[in-house]
Amino acid sequence: MDRLQQSPRLLLIMGIVLRVVTYCFLEPSNNDQHFAVIQSIVEHGRLPGTGDMGEGQQPPLYYLLGAVVWKLSGSEKVVQLLSLIFSVAALLVLYWLITKTRLLESPAARHYSLLLTCFLPQFVVNGLFLSNDSLAVLAGCLLFAQAYRFTQSPGRRHLLLLAAATGLCLATKPSFLPFLAVFLLLVLSIAYCRTRSWRKTLLAVFTFAVVTSALGSYKYIDNYVRYKNPVANIMDARFHFAYIPEQAAGYRGLRSLLDVNILRLIASPSLSPSTQQAYPVLFYGTFWYQHIPESNFGGSHRKPLSYLGSGIYILAVFPTFLMLVGMFWYLKHLPDLRSAFVLFDEAGRLLIIRYAAVLALSGICLLVATAAVLYHIWSMAQGRLLFPAIVGILVAFSKGIEVFRGSRRTMAVLMFDMRCLTALFLVYFLMEYSLIVLRDWFPGLRTLIKA
């Protein structure tokens, strides 16, 4: 592990190899209907509306790309290859942000953040499904990479590229909507700090808004034309999707919203009645591990192999605590942001982009929490929804490490914890590969090994 810390490129290579091998074993589809959208586009020659199918609410960019590949290849596995390309590209962008910039504050924070981005099972697997999540993660990483460049050199070229990246995000997934407010404020503040002219500042904001809207507004305009609501979604009662009232029927009020007893996950690493109506528990569980069965990587859902998930949940408590500490630190010190804009030196520019990342992450958290309160859909409480804001997660994690970096005992515990956690991540993948090989190559074992 010491060698890996000294040579982050080895971790990058391992992360890429892990994604390629996982792609070979992972079936294309998960529990959602992303492939049905692609098939509908090819068959009918038009984009579906929000109420037409389960993923009809999603913006069209990923599905248009997938439809071209499906039309040319006729292979679902080839369409899934898009996700592998996006996943590897996202990892490369994250590698640049982690190791080639000063976004994260210390070598330890950079090393542990790279471990998470390379090996976190949910981040790897959810980026390889035939799903717009793969493009959403790449789009989010590109957005923050460009935002970093814009804060360092706030000229017209980088402004246009930032607007294009924001439009790409909005054309990929609705969960990027909270980012829009964050980056509008970022452009306004930096443009004014650079020019000290309100006329030039408003022109920059107008340019950003026009380019972003031109690239990313299709789905929201389509929703308004069809349903008179730009943010219409399948959870609206008028669309009559059967699973919505079924999931809402189990809602337990404040107990569902405030239950943080993760001991339930340790006892039941896979989805069960004791976890599916405790939204914070479900959110934690689906961030660190495949708590909800959604793929052919299902061998770990059977005892005693499921206790691997229990081990991951125990070890993940400390890094989760550090992430929360980091988020709280940034929100507590929000007034310090004013001085960063006033001085606008190198340290101030770094603080600005870190705050942008954490505020964007907070926006997604608020969006998911609002959906949980309004609709009571337990399947909405999934940690993978945060992955488009993975940069914000790493920034918060880095700050949490910095808060305790003066304690040698705490850093020793973190080092031990992250080494063990990474080892369990790799064991998880090796175990799933092995079970798939045994099941497919030795048909007689299928009654003993079930996904």
Query: Per residue in 56-97, pLDDT tens?
Result: 899 999 999 999 999 999 999 999 999 999 999 999 999 999
Residue 232 has pLDDT above 50, yes or no: yes
- Provide the 10 A C-beta neighbour count for residue 250: 12
pLDDT tens string 19-57? 999 999 999 988 888 999 999 999 999 999 888 888 889
Whole-number average pLDDT of the chain: 90
SS3 27: coil
Lowest pLDDT segment from 176-185, 268-277, 418-427: 268-277
Burial group, residue 387, by CB count within 10 angstroms (0-12, 13-18, 19+): buried
Residue 5: the pLDDT is: 59
- Give the CA distances from residue 212 to residues 25, 169, 185, 215, 327, in Å, rounded to whole numbers and listed in that order: 37, 9, 14, 5, 28
- In whole angstroms, give the CA distance from residue 107 to residue 386: 24
SS3 271: coil
Residue 72: the pLDDT is: 95
Residue 342: the pLDDT is: 74
Q: Going by C-beta distance under 8 Å and a sequence separation of 6 or more, which residues neighbour residue 24?
A: none
Residue 1: the pLDDT is: 47
Burial group, residue 430, by CB count within 10 angstroms (0-12, 13-18, 19+): exposed
- Provide the 10 A C-beta neighbour count for residue 329: 15
Residue 245: the pLDDT is: 81
Q: Which residue has the higher pLDDT, 168 or 243?
A: 168
- In whole angstroms, give the CA distance from residue 46 to residue 33: 17
Residue 225: the pLDDT is: 93
Say if residues 385 and 364 touch (Cβ distance below 8 Å). Answer: yes
| Side-chain-side CA neighbours of residue 127 (13 Å) | 34
SS3 letters across 325-394: HHHHHHHHCCCHHHHHHHHCCHHHHHHHHHHHHHHHHHHHHHHHHHHHHHHCCHHHCCHHHHHHHHHHHH
Closest Cα to residue 8, out of 85, 89, 113?
113
Residue 451: the pLDDT is: 43
Say if residues 384 and 349 touch (Cβ distance below 8 Å). Answer: no
Q: Residue 239: which pLDDT band, with cuts at 50, 70 and 90?
A: confident
Any idea how long the chain is?
Answer: 451
Q: Residue 2: which pLDDT band, with cuts at 50, 70 and 90?
A: low
**% residues pLDDT > 90 (the chain):** 64
pLDDT tens string 288-311? 999 888 888 876 677 777 889 999
Residue 373: the pLDDT is: 84
Closest Cα to residue 187, out of 173, 213, 214, 206?
206
Mean pLDDT of 233-244: 80
Mean pLDDT of 415-433: 95
Mean pLDDT of 203-225: 95
Residue 340 has pLDDT above 80, yes or no: no
**% residues pLDDT > 70 (the chain):** 96
Q: Residue 444: which pLDDT band, with cuts at 50, 70 and 90?
A: low
Q: Quote the pTM value.
A: 0.93
